[in-house]
Amino acid sequence: MPNSSTFNTFLLLGFSDSWEQNVLYFILLLLIYLSALTANFLIISAVSLDQQLHTPMYFFLVNLSVVDLGAVSVTIPNAMINSLLNTWEISYSGCVAQVYSLFIFLASDMFLLTGMAYDRYVAICDPLHYETVMDRKVCIKMAASAWVAGLLYSGLHTGSTFAITFCSNIINQFFCEIPQLLKASCDNLYLIEFGVVVFSAFVAFSCFIFIIVSYVHIFKSVLKIPTTQGRNKAFSTCLPHLIVVSLFSSTGGFAYLKPTSPSPSDLDLVVAVLYSVVPPLMNPIVYTMRNKAIKTALWKMFQCGIYFRKKSKASPYQSGSLA
């Protein structure tokens, strides 16, 4: 049987055999991609430009937006090009790079969300020591640890996945996905990656349990707040994070823990879109809709943009009148 070194390319699953439909998919993917880029760039810009948002919560939010930008950029642009050109080949090295890059961002996302849960726990359960516990150095170390853990996590997955022998170069997905790659294996080395998947599930479950325990303590503290306004304010700072965690864990867990179908499945395609495209698009929207500080910062940024645009247009006339 041919091994993985025989294959120079992998064949991805196309959306349609019709060029006209592929053009429609290209337009749809382009709109989704541009929306995700715009939303996340606005979050990064608003937090960077507004001094009032230079707090641990928004520091982690910026990191989360960077992760979302990376995750959506790993899969969508390649799928757009394939749809437009109606070619679904990807090189062996390109497939390796795609798996490695995607797992960096997915793993970093998981660890960042865990760190954000700890930040909310300290802010609500121990507010008097919040600035001491979550100072600048601690935040940088937590974010750096999330990124480094993502790099190591991704290297472990990628190395164990591409150590196996492949009997087929057909991947029933629109990008290189580990469950579909394992399905193309023809030796027992896939058990190595299966063990890594089990280990990953344990780590992810541990992070999820940590988040749940944190929010149990948070809710206990919030319920002790005497005023309704205070309780609502505390809940409003936690609700976006809870929604993002639920979206990430449900889509990612279902995608990687469900059995793979023996033939191309529409369900596999939908699930892949849900965990690789929907969270990067929805995360900034969720945080913007439920956060008045972000809305205010965005409005100030737009007002400054309008002001400078008007000023630049008016300057030639002013200089002419002075002459």
Residue 236 falls inside a structural domain: yes
Compute the distance between CA of residue 169 and CA of residue 41 in angstroms, rounded to an integer: 37
3-state helix, strand, coil in the chain (%, to 5): 80, 5, 15
Residue 291 falls inside a structural domain: yes
Q: What is the mean pLDDT of residues 247-276?
A: 72
Residue 86 falls inside a structural domain: yes
Determine which helix (DSSP H) or strand (DSSP E) holds 10, and give its type and residue range: strand 9-11
Residue 270 falls inside a structural domain: yes
Residue 310 falls inside a structural domain: no
The pLDDT value given to residue 192: 67
Range of the domain at 236: 9-298
Residue 2 falls inside a structural domain: no
**DSSP conformational letter for 185:** B
- Identify the CA nearest to 287 among candidates 96, 65, 100, 118: 65
The CATH number of residue 51's host domain is 1.20.1070.10
Please calculate the CA angle 148-150-151 and round it to the nearest 5 degrees.
65
The pLDDT value given to residue 258: 67
Residue 311 falls inside a structural domain: no
**Domain total of the chain:** 1
Residue 214 falls inside a structural domain: yes
163-196 confidence digits (pLDDT tens): 888 888 888 888 888 878 878 777 665 566 667 7
pTM: 0.84
Q: If you compute the radius of gyration of the chain from its CA atoms, what whole number of angstroms results?
A: 23
